[in-house]
Structures are given as structure tokens and as C-alpha cells.
Chains A and B, each alone.
Chain A
Amino acid sequence: MRDQLRVLKHGLIASWTMYSAYQTWRLWTFTWLSRLLIQACFYALIGRMLGSQQQVDYLLIGNVVAVMAIDATVVILISVGERQSGTLALMVAAPSTHLTVYLGKGLVNLGSGVAASTTAFLVLPPLFGVRLPWPEAALVPLMILVVGVSCYCYGTCVASFVLGFPSARWLALNVSYLVLMTFCGVNVPTSFWPDWLRAITSVLPMTHGLAAIRAFIAEAPASTVLGQLALEVCVGAGWLAVAAMSFTRMVRRGRRDGSIEFGG
């Protein structure tokens, strides 16, 4: 366990170093953050066009939380990056678990996503007349973090599959987060979907966490909020478990078919 935490830590340090080689605060704020804020505004404006503050509330909160999903699933690209830099063989041949290494590597992006969603949550509601129950609303960023972690587990799981199909990485990334954007109650309530689809959304990350945030803002009883959050945590843990198995499987397949190359 100590070993795994250390791997996580050093993966995080390394990915932070690599991330900050391309990214500065100013760059992040003026390109990435503003892009995500605009995305959330775009949907809120649709709500305004529809003419009801209720729609604005719904769409804005949904999208404020959802904008983090892109960052949380970028781990999909990172997993293939390992093949591109030729370090996959070294990683497999090292005694640490692959899952831990990967988990550590995408954490910086997760942080970026959570930061973006939190900023959006602090900045946008007043602009669109969305009323929040302050000071309790200060707890929402924590819930955003929970949703982020669970999306991250989901992303890691997809990453483990993409490791076997490197050419599908961009497709996988886009599909992964669009699925969340579309089906998890961001723009339309999950009740809109047929039962079978709703069953699927209930095992996707974000669905329960977002429901918890909405319930919290609507000042629903604490038990509802905590119940939904607990479900979100369970969903995340489920994806993580699948990711762990799938990484093991992908590596086994790579060892069998010879696709883990020295230097490639």
C-alpha cells in the first residue's frame, strides 16, 4: 500500500512537471478555462431562450459540473502516450501495478477539471440569476470533486481498453465524455430516457453525483443528498475495479501477442 501511494505520488509529480511544461496559469485561464466557461454559458443561454429561469438553473448547474468531464477522461490519451514515448515496456517490466501508474498520471488533468468546474460554479450562477443557498453552497465543490474522481475512474477504465487499440484514442475520448454529457442528466433529466437507457445511466459516473448536487442546491433532505453521493462513490469504485481487471488483461494480451515493444 505504501509502495502504491508512492507510485501515485511520483506519477503525479512527473505528470505535473510534464503538464506545466506546456501549460502556464495564464494559458490555462485564457484558453482552457474560458473555453469551458463558455461551454457552460452556451447551454445556460439556451435555457434563457427557452424562457424559464428553471431551465436556466437546470442547464447551468448541469453544465458547470459536466465541463470537468473532458479533463477527467483525458487519462485515455495519456495511456496511449505511454506507447508513443516508448515507456510502456519499461512500465510493464517494473514491479509496480500498472493501474496505479496510470491513476497517478492523469491526476493533474483531473485537478484541472475540478478547478474549472469549481470556478464555473463560483462565477457563473450570479450572471444567470441562479440562486444558491450560501453559505452551505460552499460544500458543492467537494461534491464536484467526488463526481470528478468517479469520472476519472471511468476514464481510466476506458484508457485500459484503448491501450489495446491505440488508434481509437481520440474517438474513445470524445465518445466517453459525450456519453456523460448526453445521458447523465446534464441537459435533460434521466427520466427522459427509456427505462433500459436509464438503467445504463445509473451505472455511469456523474448521474448520481449531479443529482446529489441538484438536490443539495434545492435544499432537499440531507439523506437524499448523501444517498446519491454514496451511489456516485460506488459507481466510481465499480469502474475502478473494472479498470484494474482490464489493465491486467490488456497487459496479458500484449505479452501474448508481442505488442509491448522495447522503445515503442
Chain B
Amino acid sequence: MSVRVQDLTRTFRKGKGWRPKGDQVTALDGLTLHVPEHEVHGLLGPNGAGKTTLCKILSTILLPTSGTAEVLGHDVVSGAAEIRRHVGIVFGGERGLYGKLTARQTLRYWAALHLLPDARAKERTDALLTRLGLADKADDLVETFSRGMKQRVHLARGLIGDPKLILFDEPTTGMDPVAARDFRELITELRDEGRTILITTHDMDEAEEVCDRVTLIDNGRVLATETPRGLAEMSGLHRWVEAETTLDVTGIPGVVGTETRNGLLRVKTTDDRAARAVLDFLLDNGVRSVHAVPPRLEDVYLDLIGRRGMEV
């Protein structure tokens, strides 16, 4: 087991100073989570759900208030030193970089902090720069990089210590679609190399594509842990059928509603049987581009977390 979190609670006191006196905020509320080795595990949840707090505890920069968290068999409180050798962290945004260093210098610096011998550090630096498509820009100052390129430097930095567990906190913020697709491939490769990956993201398509399992968190509690597929099945949400047609299908039993967008008809049905019936009807009527769409992770997310809008 790579990550074993049991009844984890973390509270904060609002306010400033040495001993803040404000209200107590509960960021994690008895959270339990198990992530086996070689798994890509997604942490999903609304703003303020406690995802970052969990990542911080797992990366040993924050202590739990109560409960236990083990990473790679070591307790985050008593075994922090061991954990730090084998965990890599990457968070989104432009901070966490020294603008006046080049990408290569940045990696060499962090390699030293991860206790890599110089020869190995050089090798890994070169390999990571190439792997993340930074080889051409390796000797440019990081401050001259675009946001997505800074993000790649972050990724490379997170991988420099050859971590067994990688914590990604919203790693794709600011990446262009191509970079984001490359990132998804990278995640799969990293898993195939035998690493475990815990990733928080607000991008449901990304989570659906790369995660073996996802955990939905809200208010510091786990709502569900499942494969993206399983979650969809479990949710009992509507199946959709999509077709390029103007035919009217509202009469078919099990059809809940329809909508048309850019000439594409989307039919909402109650279950697989109803979806089947709509498909048959459309195919019988000579419509060719037809397909059934299982509920997407995003639908499940919206259903479980609720359409709360901007409320946090």
C-alpha cells in the first residue's frame, strides 16, 4: 500500500500571529483513503474540500490533527525523513521556481537537495529535460518561460528524486491542450514505471482518462472511492444518446428529454434499455452517426457534489 490514511482530521485556526485565536476550520474530517502501489488515484472535490490539505500532510509539510497517515509504510509524523526521500511533489501555478535560474540549473539544484550524487543528477537532469520537451530551452532563464513551460519545469523538478509516490496538486493549470495531452501520457508512463500517483484536478476529462480510481471529497470527507467507470455505473445517472438528426424521439418510453446543439441531437434516457430503444429507432430510420454515451465523470461529480455554483 502506497498511501494509507485512516480517520485523518486536520483543523486550522483562523487568524494571524503565533497563536491565532479565530474560529476553527475543519479541512479534513475523519478521512480514510487507501491507495495501492502502481495506481493513478484522482482526488476530486470542490474548492475548499481539503484536497491540498491532504497532499500537504502526505508530503510531510503539514501535521495531522488526529488520525494516521502512512506513506510507503512510514508514518507522516515519525517517519517524515524516510518519506521525503521517496515522494515528489508538483503543484500548479507559477510559484515555487527561481526566475533567475535556467531550467537546467533548477533541476541540478533540486537534485542536490534530493541527495543525488552529481553524476546521477546530471544524467537525470538531461533525461528529464528531454522527456518534458525542455531540451531546447534548457539553458534559458525560467522567468522567460510561458506558464505551461514553467509547469513542465515543475514536473521535471518533482521527478528529479526518482520518487516512488508523486503528489500532483492541480498540475495542468496553464497547460495548452497539447501539453495537457502529453501530460496525460506522462502520467501513464510514470505508472508503468512502477510509481504511484495521487493527483488532484478540477478537470474531469483528465481524471476520467488517467485515473485508475478516483476519490470524491467534500467538506473533508470521502463521498466515494471508485473507478471512474464504476462511479458512473453506481451513480444510476442517465445515459445519453447522440445523433446527427432532426428526428423526433420524445415519444419513446424512457426518454427524459432532448436537446440540440450544432445540429447534434442529445437524448437523455433513464437507463440502458431506454438508450437501446432510442438507438434502434434511430438506426431503423437510417440515421448513421449514432452513439450511446455513458454518464461522464463530470455528470457524476455534479450529481454527487450538487450544483452548488460558487458557494464554497
A89 in contact (CB, < 8 A): yes
CB-based contact B169/A262 at 8 Å: yes
Residues of A close to B113: CB separation below 8 A: 7, 10, 91, 94-96, 101
Q: How far is the CB of A258 from chain B (nearest CB, A)?
A: 5
Residues of A close to B85: CB separation below 8 A: 95
B291 in contact (CB, < 8 A): no
CB-based contact A90/B81 at 8 Å: no
Residues of B close to A89: CB separation below 8 A: 56, 59, 61, 89, 96
Residues of B close to A6: CB separation below 8 A: 112, 115, 117-118
If A95-B81, A260-B62, A263-B91 touch, whether A7 touches B98 (CB-CB below 8 Å) is no
Residues of A close to B97: CB separation below 8 A: 85-87
In the bound complex, what is the Cα–Cα distance between A7 and B116 (angstroms)? 10
In A9-25, which residues have CB < 8 Å from any B CB? 9-11, 13-14, 17-18, 21-22
CB-based contact B112/A85 at 8 Å: no
Partner of B109, one of A10, A93, A260: A10
Q: How far is the CB of B61 from chain A (nearest CB, A)?
A: 5
Residues of B close to A94: CB separation below 8 A: 84, 110, 113-114, 161
A256 in contact (CB, < 8 A): yes
CB-based contact B101/A17 at 8 Å: yes
In the bound complex, what is the Cα–Cα distance between A263 and B101 (angstroms)? 17
CB-based contact B62/A93 at 8 Å: no
CB-based contact B101/A93 at 8 Å: no
CB-based contact A14/B105 at 8 Å: yes
CB-based contact A87/B61 at 8 Å: no
In the bound complex, what is the Cα–Cα distance between A264 and B91 (angstroms)? 11
In B66-92, which residues have CB < 8 Å from any A CB? 81, 84-85, 87, 89, 91
Determine which residue in B85, B110, B161 has the highest number of CB atoms from chain A within 10 A of its CB, and name it.
Answer: B110
In the bound complex, what is the Cα–Cα distance between A142 and B87 (angstroms)? 43
A-B contact count (CB 8 A): 108
Partner of A18, one of B87, B100, B108: B100
Residues of B close to A9: CB separation below 8 A: 112
B96 nearest CB neighbor, chain A only: A86
CB-based contact A85/B115 at 8 Å: no
Residues of A close to B18: CB separation below 8 A: 164
B93 in contact (CB, < 8 A): yes
If A6-B118, A95-B114, A101-B113 touch, whether A17 touches B56 (CB-CB below 8 Å) is no
Residues of B close to A256: CB separation below 8 A: 63
Contact with B along A249-264 (1 / 0, CB 8 A): 0000011111010111
Q: How far is the CB of A23 from chain B (nearest CB, A)?
A: 11
B52 in contact (CB, < 8 A): yes
Contact with B along A22-55 (1 / 0, CB 8 A): 1000000000000000000000000000000000
Determine which residue in A17, A87, A258 has the highest number of CB atoms from chain B within 10 A of its CB, and name it.
Answer: A258
In the bound complex, what is the Cα–Cα distance between A150 and B169 (angstroms)? 41
CB-based contact A263/B112 at 8 Å: no
Determine which residue in A3, A22, A164, A262 has the highest number of CB atoms from chain B within 10 A of its CB, and name it.
Answer: A262
In the bound complex, what is the Cα–Cα distance between A18 and B56 (angstroms)? 28
CB-based contact B108/A255 at 8 Å: no
CB-based contact B56/A262 at 8 Å: yes
In the bound complex, what is the Cα–Cα distance between A254 and B80 (angstroms)? 14
If A6-B118, A85-B95 touch, whether A258 touches B108 (CB-CB below 8 Å) is no
In the bound complex, what is the Cα–Cα distance between A263 and B13 (angstroms)? 20
If A262-B91, A264-B95 touch, whether A255 touches B115 (CB-CB below 8 Å) is no
In the bound complex, what is the Cα–Cα distance between A262 and B96 (angstroms)? 8
If A13-B109, A90-B110, A262-B55 touch, whether A255 touches B62 (CB-CB below 8 Å) is yes
CB-based contact B109/A14 at 8 Å: yes
Interface of A toward B, CB cutoff 8 Å: 3, 6-7, 9-11, 13-14, 17-18, 21-22, 85-87, 89-96, 101, 164, 254-258, 260, 262-264
> What 5 pairs across the A-B complex have the smallest Cβ distances?
A86-B95, A10-B112, A263-B95, A94-B113, A21-B100
6 contacts between A and B (CB under 8 A): A14-B105, A85-B97, A93-B89, A94-B110, A262-B55, A262-B89
